[in-house]
């Protein structure tokens, strides 16, 4: 009888877990997690992400132990670990979920597949979320997603056969994986129980105004589901969240009419974000090069040779001189999370106003996000940088966003202590303070807080002209049509062949706007 190795990757749960359930039906199960130092030393990885994984792994170990066989943790290269199991057992079978990860995990899985073939080992992979491997085109994709999300949730096995002689190993520290110290004092905890608590509180009361309060960072931390980190580790399955939201929507008749009218659109908005979660992941699944290359090649060379270390470091440190930009960056650094609109604004500001290439800025944000999901992250980074060829470039005005999303300057003052004494009329544009006001506020521009790193209006004009300058000609539009056919949403119903209609599609279709970033987007 084969030993059934269930290889955990980013699916750290025991419920609604097809590989675990199917492997348990076939015989003894060895649940395995491989902590791969080479993966965690990639430029998109950080200790704050590992902390969430480690907490999820600890819970998973305990839960599987209660079933009879705890999780086995090994540190090293995946093939080395798997081959050691092959040599120590007469026969093994490998079970896992499919993974739409970064370029490193894509290459790793190809190596494992070749190793399994070479040794006659059966590797059974199950789809996770709504991503379709080997997709030929997007026609019917949404219907497939709906069917997958409606399937019955998979029960946890009643018991696992104990493997008495197996060394369990231990969850490594960040240092053991080669990760630098990464203070994140307000990081949310990982683990399935924390995720289920968030799901319950969101559907019960926190999400009542989700659709109205997701955009401002003043309200988003409470009003958004905050499930994205748990989707990224797989501690909570997307399907169980989608079905819980559906049940809650069906139960709204028990609420008072006013509450029902508020909560129903909030839940429908949440359901839409779960759908877009997979819509964007499908892009990277179909085209892994999106992590590294411009989606539309017409933008090659546009920013590749314009790197400005001073601008990049100021953006990373939250020292650009634009209070709302800096407050968002510092809040993200401090907590590992910020809402989708602010993610889009940070990326767009770096790409357009600072004219930085999306690749290094995307990597910096990836390291900050505790909910980093490569399949969403890189398509969104390109969307906010104007390199997809199928989206209308959106250049956020950092001052207008500040007034719109933080009118009283509450969020700014919470994260920029140097501006706490600045009077309301100047908190969004402190560089306009007269010298005597700066003295009274204890905030001298250029000493306590930097002046604006750029003239944001002039920089936006230049960036818009540069980006639009390449969006002409039959060759450009033919390539854009091919991109739309391969990756675009079918919901707008507009044919992509006419450039004018394509622009209307981009304005009308949520899949072409800044609606999704992070595992859940918000």
Q: Please say if the pLDDT value at position 140 is more than 60.
A: yes
Q: Where are the beta strands (DSSP E) in 435-509?
A: none
pLDDT at 299 > cutoff 60: yes
- CA dist 419 and 421 (Å) reads 5
Which residue carries 């029960």 as its tokens? 155
Q: Is 93 helix (H, G, I), strand (E, B) or coil?
A: strand
Rounded CA separation 402/389 (Å): 28
Helices 309-317 and 323-335, packing angle to 10 deg: 70
Tell me: pLDDT of 463 over 70.
Answer: yes
Task: Tell me how far apart the alpha carbons of residues 187 and 236 are, in angstroms, rounded to a whole number.
Answer: 18
* Vertex 362 angle, CA 359 and 365, to 5°: 155
Q: How far apart are CA 512 and CA 433, in angstroms?
A: 39
Residue listed under structure tokens 């079978």:
93
Q: Enter the tokens of residue 386.
A: 């104007």
Q: Angle at Cα 43 formed by Cα 38 and Cα 49, nearest 5°?
A: 80
Q: Is the confidence at residue 504, as pLDDT, over 70? A: no
CB 49 within 8 A of CB 174: no
Question: End-to-end CA distance of the chain, in Å?
Answer: 46
Average pLDDT over residues 495-520: 43
User: Using CA atoms, how far apart are residues 297 and 293, in angstroms rounded to an integer?
Assistant: 8
Average of pLDDT values for 307-330? 97
Residues 6+ apart with CB under 8 A from 11: 17, 19, 96, 97, 128, 234, 237
- For residue 97, list its beta bridge partners: 126
* Residue 92 phi, psi dihedral angles, 5° rounding: -130, 155
- Residue 1 exposed, middle or buried by CB count within 10 Å (0-12, 13-18, 19+): exposed
pLDDT, mean of residues 285-311: 94
Predicted confidence band of residue 491 (pLDDT cuts 50, 70, 90): low
Q: How far apart are CA 83 and CA 92, in angstroms?
A: 10
Helix (H, G, I), strand (E, B) or coil at 225: coil
Q: Which has the minimum average pLDDT: 24-33, 125-134, 251-260, 413-422?
A: 251-260
Q: In what order do the strands lie in the sheet with 123-126?
A: 72-75, 29-35, 3-8, 92-97, 123-126
Please report the pLDDT score of residue 224 as a whole number. 98
Tell me the mean pLDDT in the region 27-34: 97
The average pLDDT across 235-241 equals 98
Of 75-89, 416-430, 494-508, the poorest mean pLDDT is in 494-508
Give residue-wise pLDDT tens across range 426-458: 999 999 999 999 999 999 999 999 999 999 999
How many angstroms separate the Cα of 364 from the Cα of each of 20, 100, 231, 368, 412? 35, 20, 21, 7, 21
Read off the pLDDT of each residue in 23-49 and give the average, rounded to a whole number. Answer: 97
- Nearest in space to 464 (alpha carbons), one of 390, 395, 389, 383: 395
Burial (CB < 10 A; 0-12, 13-18, 19+), residue 475, is: exposed
* Contact (CB, 8 A) for 349 and 396: yes
Q: In angstroms, what is the C-alpha Rg of the chain?
A: 24
* Residue 219 pLDDT > 70: yes
Report the C-alpha gap between 338 and 323 in whole angstroms. 16
pLDDT for residue 510: 37
Greater confidence (330 vs 254) lies with 330
Q: Which burial class, exposed, middle or buried, applies to 491 when counting CB atoms under 10 A from its CB (0-12, 13-18, 19+)?
A: middle
Q: Mean of the per-residue pLDDT values for the chain?
A: 92
Report how far residue 243's alpha carbon sits from residue 393's, in angstroms, rounded to the nearest whole number: 35
Average the pLDDT over 157-173 and give the result: 92
CA dihedral 381, 382, 384, 385 (to 10 degrees): 120
pLDDT band at 200 (very low <50, low <70, confident <90, very high): very high
| H-only helix segments in 224-256 | 228-233, 238-250
Residue 509: pLDDT over 60: no
Return the C-alpha torsion angle 323, 325, 329, 335, nearest 10.
80
- Write down all domains in the chain, each with its CATH number in brackets: 3-128 (3.40.50.620), 192-282 (no CATH), 290-512 (1.10.579.10)
pLDDT digit string (tens) for 142-158?
A: 999 999 999 999 999 99
Q: Which contacts of 398-403 are long-range, i.e. CB under 8 A and separated by 24 or more positions?
A: 398/322, 398/324, 398/325, 398/345, 398/349, 398/353, 398/456, 399/322, 399/324, 399/428, 399/429, 399/456, 401/324, 401/341, 401/345, 402/322, 402/323, 402/324, 402/428, 403/428
Please name the helix (run of DSSP H) or strand (run of DSSP E) that holds residue 502, with its range, or none: helix 499-508
Q: Can you tell me the distance from the alpha carbon of 21 to that of 154, in angstroms, rounded to the nearest whole number?
A: 7
């Amino acid at each position: 009888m084969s030993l059934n190795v269930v290889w955990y990757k980013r699916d750290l749960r025991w419920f609604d877990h097809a590989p675990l359930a199917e492997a348990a039906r076939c015989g003894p199960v060895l649940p395995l997690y491989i902590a791969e130092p080479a993966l965690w030393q990639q430029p998109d990885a950080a200790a704050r992400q590992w902390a969430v994984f480690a907490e999820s792994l600890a819970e998973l170990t305990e839960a599987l132990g209660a079933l009879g066989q705890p999780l086995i943790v090994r540190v090293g290269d995946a093939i080395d670990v798997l081959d050691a199991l092959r040599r120590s057992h007469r026969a093994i079978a490998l079970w896992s979920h499919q993974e739409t990860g970064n370029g490193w995990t894509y290459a790793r899985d190809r190596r494992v597949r070749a190793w399994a073939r070479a040794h006659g080992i059966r590797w059974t992979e199950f789809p996770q979320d709504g991503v379709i491997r080997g997709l030929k085109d997007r026609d019917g994709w949404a219907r497939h997603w709906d069917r997958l999300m409606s399937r019955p949730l998979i029960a946890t096995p009643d018991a696992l056969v104990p493997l008495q002689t197996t060394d369990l190993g231990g969850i490594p520290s960040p240092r053991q994986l080669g990760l630098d110290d990464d203070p994140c004092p307000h990081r949310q905890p990982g683990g399935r129980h924390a995720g289920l608590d968030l799901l319950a509180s969101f559907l019960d009361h926190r999400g009542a105004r989700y659709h109205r309060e997701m955009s401002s960072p003043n309200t988003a931390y409470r009003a958004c589901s905050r499930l994205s980190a748990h989707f990224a580790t797989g501690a909570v399955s997307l399907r169980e969240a989608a079905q819980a939201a559906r049940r809650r929507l069906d139960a709204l008749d028990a609420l008072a009419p006013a509450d029902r009218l508020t909560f129903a659109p909030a839940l429908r908005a949440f359901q839409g974000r779960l759908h877009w979660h997979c819509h964007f992941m499908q892009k990277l699944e179909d085209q892994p090069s999106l992590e590294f290359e411009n989606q539309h090649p017409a933008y090659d060379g546009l920013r590749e040779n314009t790197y400005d270390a001073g601008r990049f470091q100021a953006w990373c440190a939250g020292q650009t001189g634009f209070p709302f930009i800096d407050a968002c960056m510092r809040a993200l650094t401090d907590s590992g999370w910020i809402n989708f609109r602010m993610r889009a604004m940070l990326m767009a500001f770096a790409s357009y106003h600072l004219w930085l290439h999306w690749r290094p800025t995307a990597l910096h944000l990836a390291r900050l996000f505790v909910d980093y999901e490569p399949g969403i992250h890189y398509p969104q980074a390109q969307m906010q940088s104007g390199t997809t060829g199928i989206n209308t470039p959106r250049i956020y005005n950092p001052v207008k966003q500040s007034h719109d999303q933080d009118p009283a300057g509450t969020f700014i003052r919470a994260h920029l202590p140097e501006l706490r004494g600045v009077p309301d009329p100047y908190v969004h544009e402190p560089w306009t303070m007269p010298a005597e006001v700066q003295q009274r506020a204890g905030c001298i521009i250029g000493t306590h807080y930097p002046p604006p790193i750029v003239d944001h209006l002039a920089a936006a004009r230049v960036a818009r002209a540069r980006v639009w300058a390449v969006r002409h000609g039959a060759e450009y539009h033919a390539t854009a049509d091919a991109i739309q056919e391969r990756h675009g949403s079918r919901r707008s119903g507009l044919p992509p062949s006419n450039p004018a209609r394509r622009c209307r599609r981009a304005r009308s279709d949520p899949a072409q706007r800044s609606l999704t970033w992070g595992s859940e987007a918000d």
